[in-house]
Amino acid sequence: MGYWFKLTLASYPADLANGTTGKLSFRMRNDGVAPIYIKGHRAVVKVALMDNATNVLSTVTLKGVNPFAWKPGETIAQSAEFAFPKNAKGTKLALGVFTKESLANPDIKLGIANGTALNWYVLSDMPRGAH
């Protein structure tokens, strides 16, 4: 019962470098029977820069990405620009959905594999030579 979010596609420029601005585009499908409802909260989506052990080095809130728009039975395309300060340890990008922007780790799980113990979903390793 409720929402069941599934990340179905994610992409960013092949030449994205750690320390540069890039655009993340993704599609989220709600295979549940209801939209998200969080009384008194504003859900947000963040992207994280991680090291090889999936430790979070830095996060950025994706402006204009609204989980309340992810309606049941629909797939919605989302995109937002992001940038991280250059960090030599940064090797992975991950996505997370939060009920509050102030939280350090996502508290909304996605219905897909590849989640970390702290509910981040690793998108991929950064392009080679981008660290």
Specify whether the CB–CB gap between 28 and 8 falls below 8 A.
yes
Number of domains present in the structure of the chain:
1
Specify whether the CB–CB gap between 43 and 102 falls below 8 A.
no
Indicate whether 130 belongs to any domain: no
pLDDT number for residue 121: 95
* 45-61 burial: b if 16+ Cβ within 10 Å, else e: bbbbbbeeeeebbebee
Supply the pTM of this predicted model. Answer: 0.88
Indicate whether 53 belongs to any domain: yes
pLDDT number for residue 17: 63
* For range 97-111, the mean pLDDT: 92
pLDDT number for residue 90: 86
In tens, the pLDDT along 45-72 reads: 999 999 999 999 999 999 999 899 999 9
We report the CATH number of the domain holding residue 34 as: 2.60.40
Mean model confidence pLDDT for the chain: 87
Pairwise CA distance, residues 95 & 120, whole Å: 6
pLDDT number for residue 131: 46
Asked if residue 31 has pLDDT above 50, the reply is yes
Indicate whether 100 belongs to any domain: yes
Indicate whether 131 belongs to any domain: no
pLDDT number for residue 103: 94
